[in-house]
Chain A
Amino acid sequence: MGYLAGIDVGSRMTRSVLVDDHGRVQARTGRETGARLEAAAQAVLDELCATQRIKPEEILYVASTGYGRYRVLFRQIQITEMTCHGVGARWLFPGTRTVLDIGAMNSRALRLADSGRVAAFRMNDRCASGAGRFLERVAKALEVKLEDVGELSLRAQNPQPISSICAVLAESEVINHVTAGASVEDILCGAHFSIAERLVALVRQVGAQPEITLTGGVSKNAGLVRALEERLGVKLNVSPHSEYAGALGAALLARARWQRLADAVGGARVQSCEAAREEPA
């Protein structure tokens, strides 16, 4: 049996997923990316092989994704997060039409066509991007643990509004609320809603249609999910594997590419496409 791997080198975490040639998930691993991206990528690959007791050469095809996709030296092809999250989300929730990927620094919304093709996408490239970083800062300012902010915010009595567009200035608004004697829960709730506000705008701009699936590291934050569902007025798909959506999508696309390669049909085309993508200077 043949294996195919997807490696997602993100700004904080590097994750990998191994699928077999029938597209069944066989293994997944993850670790902190750290400063040396190549090493992180190699490490998750080795872990994959270890879990399955296979040698790296037994992996037929590797697709890399994430901001470090070009640093995965053993890749056959690199594919962007957006394409991969689309495919990954479809696999997790076949009814997915819209994907919201909330990362530490970037957030992205995708609208998928029936084929799974990314029909429209939008990246949060403005003030107050970086939902993850924003929550980290708020947590720091409030002296609470990042893991807890979501849960805490759910206990809010009267959420405190946070208006500033600048994530950094929003932080000082948080401080002002504390000064004014607002409870940590209420402030956190406000913070989550202020992020949700912007994420919703992002989702709307791609012309969101249900089902909407959350992916990315921050998607596990219950407070944010609640805020988003309230603002969007629909339930959201959240999977325990959602932070693996990128690696999963990469693995599945790797499989598709490998099969195309296998069939003589389009083989040449695929080759040239990969040749076409050199490591940028």
Chain B
Amino acid sequence: MLVAGVDVGSTATKAALLDENKRVLALALVDTGANVVRAAERAFRAALAEARVEDWDVTYTVGTGYGRYRVPFGDAQVTEIGCHAKGASFLFPATRTILDMGGQDTKAIRIGDGADVQDFCMNDKCAAGTGRFLEAAAEVLGLKLEELGEVATQSKKPMKITNVCTVFVEQEIVMHLARGCPVEDILAGLHWTIAGRSIGLLRRVGLEPEITFTGGVARNAGVVRALEERLATKLNVAPQSQHIGAIGAALFAWERAAHGEVGKRANGAAPRPEAAGGGN
């Protein structure tokens, strides 16, 4: 039995494929781009290809992510919050608090032992201090997103960046550059500012350890360091941090499948050579 989770994020769409023992068989990531339906399908297909399986082998698929209302993908939908809780506590069972920083949403989630969501908070109606904020910075500085963290670690004295507005921070950066301020110091300042924004959210749900950091931004060493410094504690960061939502979705799918539910792809929607033997 195989199960899948697809997480349609604002910038990237992720898919995860698990087997009956909850082992991760494949992970896939594609740019969401303009067409959410296509992105979800492509990510799903990419995961199938990597695991060398067909979609009818997948018993159940759960969709999540901001795109889920516009394109209900898969057999059921669960909110990102539920999926991140699920995924994070699967990878780090001691997780009590989750910080998820994605393209334009930052979430803080508190969970119980059952990965049950006890409390959560999100940034308000603006992209302030989200992944998009870093993208904008990267653009202005002419760097690649994944380079930011590395560069920032070379900073001697971080610049104070007050702007959290993604549009204005560009002006602030341009101004600091014009003043001949080193790029690494500007970046270090940015990371510090972003960390501050998310700490506000984390405090709202209560900073119960362990804290697991998920989402695209979790791959940015600079932000991780800034957060650990300001929180004076280590954070769990998984190599597949960006896929945790998708993995969580797949785990929900696994539960449904375990309860004997069968998704539309599996029960004969597609041609199935050994349909007779199909014992799900």
Contacts and interface: CB of A to CB of B under 8 A. Distances in A.
Q: Is there direct touching of A and B in the complex, by C-beta distance under 8 Å?
A: yes
Interface of A: 11, 35, 37, 67-68, 71, 105-106, 127-130, 133-134, 141-143, 164-169, 172, 175-176, 178-180
Given A68-B178, A168-B132, A127 B126 contact: yes
A133 B166 CA distance: 11
Given A129-B167, A179-B71, A166 B125 contact: yes
- Choose among A67, A129, A134, A175 the residue with the greatest number of B CB atoms under 10 Å from its CB: A175
B96 to A, nearest CB: 30
A162 B127 CA distance: 16
Q: 5 tightest A-B contacts by CB?
A: A168-B127, A178-B34, A166-B126, A179-B36, A168-B166
Interface in B12-34: 32-34
Given A168-B104, A179-B37, A71 B178 contact: yes
A127 B167 contact: yes
Contacts of B70: 176, 179-180
B170 A133 contact: yes
14 contacts: A67-B174, A68-B178, A105-B167, A127-B165, A128-B167, A129-B167, A167-B166, A168-B127, A172-B10, A172-B103, A175-B32, A175-B36, A179-B37, A180-B70
Nearest to B132: A168
Interface of B: 10, 32-37, 66-67, 70-71, 103-104, 125-127, 132-133, 136, 165-168, 170-171, 174-175, 177-178
Given A134-B167, A164-B125, 18 more contacts: A11-B174, A67-B174, A68-B178, A127-B126, A127-B165, A127-B167, A129-B168, A143-B34, A165-B126, A166-B166, A168-B133, A172-B66, A175-B32, A175-B33, A175-B34, A178-B34, A179-B35, A179-B67
Given A11-B174, A37-B178, A167 B167 contact: yes
A11 B178 CA distance: 10
Contacts, number: 69
Contacts of B104: 168-169, 172
A133 B167 contact: yes
A134 B125 CA distance: 17
A183 to B, nearest CB: 12
A134 B170 CA distance: 12
Contacts of A105: 167, 170-171, 174
B34 A168 contact: no
Residue of A67, A129, A168 ringed by the most chain B CB atoms within 10 A: A168
Contacts of A176: 70
Contacts of B175: 67
A163 B190 CA distance: 28
A130 B37 CA distance: 31
B9 to A, nearest CB: 10
